[in-house]
Structure 1
């Protein structure tokens, strides 16, 4: 399973134009707002190549991101990731634990004992990120802050109104608590055992993102979901919740909304939901 890589983009199904930046207008808006799909591990120097995105950000008076860093919530998040009465050694057979331990050390440089009482999804995401960084040379060509953090920091710097759609606790609940730790452990072992069948997907996904190819990303995610299971719980419910906030925020002021790219398309994606709510949404 390459769970983390798809979490970086989160995409439901639908056919849309090839663009990561969309203008939202009509339905009573005095000025247009903008919807931009991010790639959470891509650095902000990427924006040097996309002046249209920079211009949309500059025009906006409000900036919306998925979440903002809350130092007060760090302890709560850390506690959510821990299994105080369980461990990887208890969840995995001796052979599987050794298999994962060797793979983890080889790719991350860390000893798996450091993660022994962390929920298995923590180990899986760390390992998947390591896979992605090694597979995708393109990512190393960009520098700066991760895109989402850049938009949040730049909004504060320019004194724009910054609004998070979720708390850090809410985001971590999706990651750490959706599946029982037994399933997380089984998925971790499967990821390691089947890594060869997934080689190249990180690069394909990155290339598709840089090309603005949402349809291509959808097809790739379908290949993943057919083999490894549905991740729509990370999309549909969250998009519906966000739609309870976005129209009001855009009515108050021209707003730049930056969320994972794969929240954009699909029958439950933000492009469709905004159109169904009466807005005009067009690619830029």
Structure 2
């Protein structure tokens, strides 16, 4: 009996960890909806090798993404990202600032002085995205729009109902305002000091995504949180907020939900949260 239980656990774990596309049915839904985990820096030609994803997307009447760029809110977002009464070169000791400035210039080509009054989380995000992009030649082979943007823009052309889980302001507030800028600055320094680990993690994230290994990505994010500071609030809190809207969206019409892949796995991931609500959620 123990061997059977272990086998079932292994089979379940393997199925869970090797799919980015999940079918959501039951709990009163007349037609299934789908969850798809995206990688925000990936381009849409990736979908040419994913016929199941394309079929699920094309068959849906609605598309939901995390957010869409709102040009009318750009000025407000720029102001929110700034530190009007503080500066990074004042928040950090001179040796730490020099360390970050040298690495930022080497990695991005930009002078850190241009970002002194930008909240450090923005600088850290730029640096981490640069690491991820430089660590995978595979990503550069894909062309087109960033994949999340593709689903929204192409869906609109196809006359699908387009929805978002949050406004740009709501999304940016999670990123910019959760931690004080002093803490953000110190986390930036720690990230640069541990850049070798950041490089490895950036490469690992890409490799795990292309293998569709959700479980591996979630475990890596847990490890990253222990090493570089807990940022689970960017996933867990938002998932619970999104669950207040997701059942109604799926009940209204068969919907294709495209969100960052890390929003799917884990105890607070959308897969488990939907199961707790009584839905059947199956890998495709």
Q: Provide the TM-score with structure 2 as the length reference.
A: 0.92
* Contact 2:275 2:281 survives alignment (8 Å): yes
- Look up the match of 2:7: none
> Deviations along 1:170-223, whole A, 9 cap, x unmatched?
111111111111111111111111212333211111111111111111222222
Superposition deviation, residue 230 in structure 1: 2.2
- Look up the match of 2:114: 114
- Look up the match of 1:231: 231
* Contact 2:132 2:206 survives alignment (8 Å): no
- Higher alpha-carbon deviation: 193-202 or 232-241: 193-202
Structure 2 matches for 1:240-259, cutoff 5 A?
A: 240-259=240-259
- Look up the match of 2:182: 182
**SS of 1:220 mapped into structure 2:** helix
- Look up the match of 1:63: 63
| Residue 44 (str. 1) matches residue 44 (str. 2) | yes
Question: Which segments of 5 or more consecutive residues in structure 1 lack a partner in the other structure?
Answer: 1-13
**SS of 1:200 mapped into structure 2:** helix
* Contact 1:17 1:283 survives alignment (8 Å): no
Residue 155 and residue 114 in structure 1: after superposition, are their counterparts in 2 closer, same or farther (change >3 A)? same
* Contact 1:43 1:146 survives alignment (8 Å): yes
Residue 81 and residue 238 in structure 1: after superposition, are their counterparts in 2 closer, same or farther (change >3 A)? same
The RMSD of aligned alpha carbons is 1.3
**SS of 1:125 mapped into structure 2:** helix
CA distance in 2, matches of 1:78, 1:277: 38
Structure number with the bigger relative contact order (C-alpha 8 A, sep ≥ 6) is 1
Superposition deviation, residue 17 in structure 1: 4.2
- Look up the match of 2:88: 88
**SS of 1:53 mapped into structure 2:** helix
CA distance in 2, matches of 1:191, 1:181: 15
**SS of 1:199 mapped into structure 2:** helix
Superposition deviation, residue 265 in structure 1: 1.4
* Contact 2:128 2:202 survives alignment (8 Å): no
Q: Provide the TM-score with structure 1 as the length reference.
A: 0.92
Question: Which segments of 5 or more consecutive residues in structure 2 lack a partner in the other structure?
Answer: 1-11
- Higher alpha-carbon deviation: 252-261 or 262-271: 262-271
- Look up the match of 1:261: 261
Query: What number of residue pairs does the alignment pair up?
Result: 271
CA distance in 2, matches of 1:199, 1:163: 34
CA distance in 1, matches of 2:278, 2:108: 47
* Contact 2:128 2:198 survives alignment (8 Å): no
CA distance in 2, matches of 1:104, 1:73: 28
**SS of 2:230 mapped into structure 1:** coil
- Higher alpha-carbon deviation: 232-241 or 52-61: 232-241
* Contact 1:30 1:251 survives alignment (8 Å): yes
